[in-house]
């Protein structure tokens, strides 16, 4: 009996030692206060790719400003769903959070613009630590680069999810989001071109509302719609 007790006790201690040396998952990262980066955007409906286009991301939390460029051939639901009377709905589109925190949808090539929403409607610039409550989902290779990923529930609870992947040195790899509706999962990804990643404030002109944009003109289909 003594020998058995000693054996069991040693096993428990060994197990405790193994558990105590297991490394905790990496803590959720925070974005730099200001940065810019280019990306390739892709949308999938189930397993079918519905669109693919280039784009760019500009972010400056110190100015509470951001701009997301969805370039030619885009099928972005924010751009296309606001009801602007444009001749080329798949043309270059900018989603701009100006310094007053309103969000505008802009088609610069067609000089069309409208105010989609603001803080009162739930439209705000993402905070740098928006991943604070996310969970680590492991490592993944994206475009040949080893990346770490975190996931959190999206704005509609369990039907949506947001993921962020970046390298151990903090370079962004990919933003991934999904929405499940009627048993179909729609996936939208921005895969970043790491050679274009720049930490620092973008030029102030990036966040300027164009002269042809009436800051008080609401979109025909304002958010949420």
Give me the tens of pLDDT residue by residue for the chain, a chain 225 residues long: 444 433 344 333 344 444 556 788 899 999 999 999 999 999 998 788 989 999 999 999 999 999 999 999 999 989 999 999 999 999 999 999 987 779 999 999 999 999 999 988 888 899 999 999 999 999 999 999 999 999 998 765 456 899 999 999 999 999 999 988 777 788 999 999 999 999 999 999 999 999 999 888 899 999 875
pLDDT of residue 121: 87
**CB–CB of 46/78 below 8 Å?**
no
pLDDT of residue 24: 87
C-alpha of 160 from chain center: 13
DSSP secondary structure of the chain = -HHHHHHHHHHHHHHHHHHHTSPPPPPPP---SEEEEEEEEEEEETTEEEEEEEEEEEEEGGGTEEEEEE-TT---HHHHTT----S-TTS-EEEEE-TT--EEEEEGGGTEEEEEE-GGGT--PPPTTTTTT-EEEEEEEETTEEEEEEEEEETTEEEEEEEEEE-TTS-EEEEEEEEEETTEEEEEEEEEEEEEEEESPPPGGGGPPPTT--TT-B-SSPSP-
Q: How far apart are CA 77 and CA 81, in angstroms?
A: 5
pLDDT of residue 200: 98
**CB–CB of 36/207 below 8 Å?**
no
Q: How far apart are CA 85 and CA 183, in angstroms?
A: 32
pLDDT of residue 155: 61
pLDDT of residue 69: 98
pLDDT of residue 21: 60
Longest CA span, the chain: 88
The owner of tokens 């790899």 is: 173
Q: How far apart are CA 167 and CA 198, in angstroms?
A: 15
- Tell me the pTM: 0.85
Q: Could you give all domains of the chain from N- to C-terminal order, each with its CATH number?
A: 34-207 (2.50.20.30)
pLDDT of residue 185: 84
């Amino acid at each position: 009996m003594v020998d058995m007790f000693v054996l069991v006790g040693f096993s428990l201690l060994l197990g405790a030692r193994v558990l105590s040396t297991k490394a905790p998952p990496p803590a959720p990262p925070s974005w730099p206060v200001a940065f810019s980066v280019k990306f390739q955007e892709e949308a999938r409906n189930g397993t079918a790719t519905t669109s693919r286009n280039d784009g760019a991301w500009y972010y400056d939390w110190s100015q509470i400003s951001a701009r997301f460029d969805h370039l030619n051939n885009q099928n972005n639901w924010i751009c296309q769903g606001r009801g602007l009377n444009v001749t080329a709905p798949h043309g270059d589109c900018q989603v701009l959070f100006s310094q007053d925190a309103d969000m505008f949808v802009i088609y610069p090539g067609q000089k069309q613009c409208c105010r989609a929403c603001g803080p009162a409607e739930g439209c705000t610039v993402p905070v740098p630590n928006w991943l604070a409550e996310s969970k680590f989902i492991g490592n993944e290779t994206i475009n040949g680069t080893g990346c770490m990923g975190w996931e959190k529930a999206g704005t509609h609870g369990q039907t949506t999810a947001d993921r962020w992947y970046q390298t151990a040195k903090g370079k962004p790899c990919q933003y991934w989001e999904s929405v499940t509706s009627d048993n179909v999962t729609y996936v939208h990804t921005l895969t970043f071109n790491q050679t274009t990643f720049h930490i620092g404030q973008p030029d102030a002109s990036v966040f300027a509302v164009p002269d042809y944009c009436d800051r008080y003109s609401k979109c025909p289909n304002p958010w949420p719609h």
